Chain A
Amino acid sequence: MADASYPEDLLYHPEHDWAKIEGDVATFGVTWFAQDALGEVVYFDPPEVGTTVTKDEPYAEVESVKAVSDVFAPLSGEIIEVNTSLGDTPETINSDPYGDGWMVKVKLSDVSETDVLMDQATYLESLS
């Protein structure tokens, strides 16, 4: 399992999700803290491309040996791509939560929603 890390170029949601913004498209995933709390992820139930996601609402489920957890959307929009490789290798969510463990790409419906997300420093503070 990777060491704790929280990249500077991401925005963070209180439910321990991250968003990487590129224009009006964002990539979503869960943070190191989230995957560590979950333990070994054994199952990722992805949403479908075209699904609308709403900020602060669950859009997918991750399952560890011990429990199932909702994954919350940090921002609103429409899913344009799903990381289908997580179906076969869900453990990537543990080993590389910010890289190959990304979950969905979303075309944002309201880019201004990013204003209320936390930057790295604020998120780190929320964890302490």
Chain B
Amino acid sequence: MHQTTLKRTPLFERHQAAGAKIVPFAGWEMPVQYEGIRAEHQAVRTDAGVFDVSHMGEIETRGEEAEAFLQRILSNDVTKLAVGGAQYSLLTKPDGGVIDDLFTYRLAPDHYLTVTNASNHEKDLAWFIEQAREFPGAVVRDSAEDYAMLAVQGPRAREVVQAFADGPLPSRMTAGRRLLAGRSVLVAGTGYTGEDGVELLIDPADAPAIWDELLKRGATPVGLGARDTLRLEVCFHLYGNDLMEERDPIAAGLGWAVKEDTGFIGADVIAQTRAAGPAEKLVPFKLTEKGIARQGNAILSGGEEVGVVTSGTLSPSLDVGIGMGYVRPEFAAPGTALELDVRGKVRPAVVATKPLYPDEETDG
């Protein structure tokens, strides 16, 4: 193992001042919690929380072939993305395996901004650059150093941000520039918690001032610990846990973000998988007794191994163990009783419906 220097976001000192516990994460020193995961989780569910997600990467694509290029590499239909819009998609290999999951914002007719997962940024960038060789009219640029990123999430999140914005905030799944406390910020109506809110892409030099404004208006600092419990309650995928190069979007339940008729890389293989049905399916589950399943635990049925847990935690909202895992399709129906091998102890669980929270039956 060679030593690498961990990167710090422009808010590192703010995190220390707020009493954060700092941990290494994807090459960064990031706050995993401040006051405590439960309290921070609750702040996002009931009020407003702010996350520093500046570790996430950005790639900008410009030029007359920008749309055609992105249509070739992203799984969703990029031609449906209007200026000022946001779109979720996957980056897939020729065999359909998932390289990353991404949000892309169309900033101008020939200008797109794609947000990458921190742990995948270099890999994604290399893939973008390699594939762009066939599109001389598309220019790809690593913009990770140009942006700090904050997520403000919760029922009161918009109100908190609106209070120092120069105009109405972009609605859900749209994005646009606003002046926040006099500083130009790209505001997007997106998030990773299941709550309403916005994500802010900020000049790194401006990030501390924006952070201070948010805290002054009552937003609670929230760490990566609660970010994980919040996203898992609403069954949002985490790359490296629920998504990986060895599995495809159909098995992951992301067929809605995959438009094979656009001819993106991997579309033909994914179309076959969709038609034939995937060999396994990602399902949400709840434990029916005490215990918490974790990534890597075996999923059993009648003692036979039928799948594997890819994410597991205690749900602070429901106070039960929850998670997601890949199972053989015949065990994927909601209500199916399963057992989880939690370090040698068998814990009963049941396949649930998405989202796990709010706790009500929906068709997902």
In this complex, how many residues of chain B approach chain A with their Cβ under 8 Å: the count is 18
A65 to chain B, nearest CB (A): 5
Residues of A within 8 A of B291 (CB): 43
Whether the pair A65, B294 counts as a contact (CB closer than 8 A) is no
Whether the pair B36, A43 counts as a contact (CB closer than 8 A) is no
Whether the pair A68, B313 counts as a contact (CB closer than 8 A) is no
A97 to chain B, nearest CB (A): 15
A60 to chain B, nearest CB (A): 12
Residues of A within 8 A of B292 (CB): 42-43, 63, 68
Interface residues on A, range: 10 to 19
A39 interfacial by beta-carbon distance below 8 Å: yes
A121 interfacial by beta-carbon distance below 8 Å: no
A1 interfacial by beta-carbon distance below 8 Å: yes
Residues of B within 8 A of A66 (CB): 32, 37, 225, 228, 313
- Residues 7-38 (chain B) with a chain A CB within 8 angstroms: 21, 32-33, 36-38
A40 interfacial by beta-carbon distance below 8 Å: yes
A57 interfacial by beta-carbon distance below 8 Å: no
Q: Per-residue CB proximity of A97-110 to B under 8 Å, as 1/0?
A: 00000000000000
CA distance A61 to B291 in the complex (A): 11
CA distance A63 to B294 in the complex (A): 11
CA distance A43 to B291 in the complex (A): 7
Whether the pair A65, B313 counts as a contact (CB closer than 8 A) is yes
Q: Identify the closest chain A residue to B41 (Cβ).
A: A65
Whether the pair B343, A65 counts as a contact (CB closer than 8 A) is no
Whether the pair B32, A40 counts as a contact (CB closer than 8 A) is no
Residues of A within 8 A of B38 (CB): 40, 65
Residues of B within 8 A of A68 (CB): 292, 294, 343
B316 interfacial by beta-carbon distance below 8 Å: yes
- Residues 309-364 (chain B) with a chain A CB within 8 angstroms: 313-314, 316, 343, 345
Residues of A within 8 A of B345 (CB): 45
Whether the pair A65, B290 counts as a contact (CB closer than 8 A) is no
Q: Identify the closest chain A residue to B291 (Cβ).
A: A43
Residues of B within 8 A of A43 (CB): 290-292, 314
A12 to chain B, nearest CB (A): 22
Whether the pair B37, A39 counts as a contact (CB closer than 8 A) is yes
A32 to chain B, nearest CB (A): 14
Whether the pair A42, B36 counts as a contact (CB closer than 8 A) is no
Residues of A within 8 A of B37 (CB): 39-40, 65-66
Q: Identify the closest chain A residue to B35 (Cβ).
A: A1
A90 to chain B, nearest CB (A): 10
Known contacts: A39-B37, A43-B290. The answer to whether A65 contacts B32 by CB under 8 A is no
Known contacts: A65-B229, A66-B225. The answer to whether A39 contacts B33 by CB under 8 A is yes
CA distance A43 to B38 in the complex (A): 14
Residues of A within 8 A of B228 (CB): 66
Whether the pair B314, A39 counts as a contact (CB closer than 8 A) is no
Residues of B within 8 A of A45 (CB): 345
Whether the pair A40, B343 counts as a contact (CB closer than 8 A) is no
B355 to chain A, nearest CB (A): 18
- Residues 58-96 (chain A) with a chain B CB within 8 angstroms: 61, 63, 65-68
Whether the pair B290, A39 counts as a contact (CB closer than 8 A) is no
A16 to chain B, nearest CB (A): 16
Whether the pair B225, A39 counts as a contact (CB closer than 8 A) is yes
A34 to chain B, nearest CB (A): 14
Whether the pair B36, A39 counts as a contact (CB closer than 8 A) is yes
A62 to chain B, nearest CB (A): 11
Whether the pair B343, A61 counts as a contact (CB closer than 8 A) is yes
A76 to chain B, nearest CB (A): 22
A2 to chain B, nearest CB (A): 13
CA distance A68 to B314 in the complex (A): 11
Q: Which residues of A contact B (CB under 8 A)?
A: 1, 39-40, 42-43, 45, 61, 63, 65-68
**27 interchain pairs (CB within 8 A)?**
A1-B36, A39-B32, A39-B33, A39-B37, A39-B225, A40-B37, A40-B38, A42-B292, A43-B290, A43-B292, A43-B314, A45-B345, A61-B343, A63-B292, A65-B38, A65-B225, A65-B229, A65-B313, A65-B316, A66-B32, A66-B37, A66-B228, A66-B313, A67-B294, A68-B292, A68-B294, A68-B343
A65-B37, A68-B292 known, 4 other contacts, Cβ within 8 Å:
A40-B37, A42-B314, A63-B292, A66-B37
Sorted from nearest, which 4 A-B pairs have the closest CB atoms? A65-B37, A42-B314, A65-B314, A40-B36
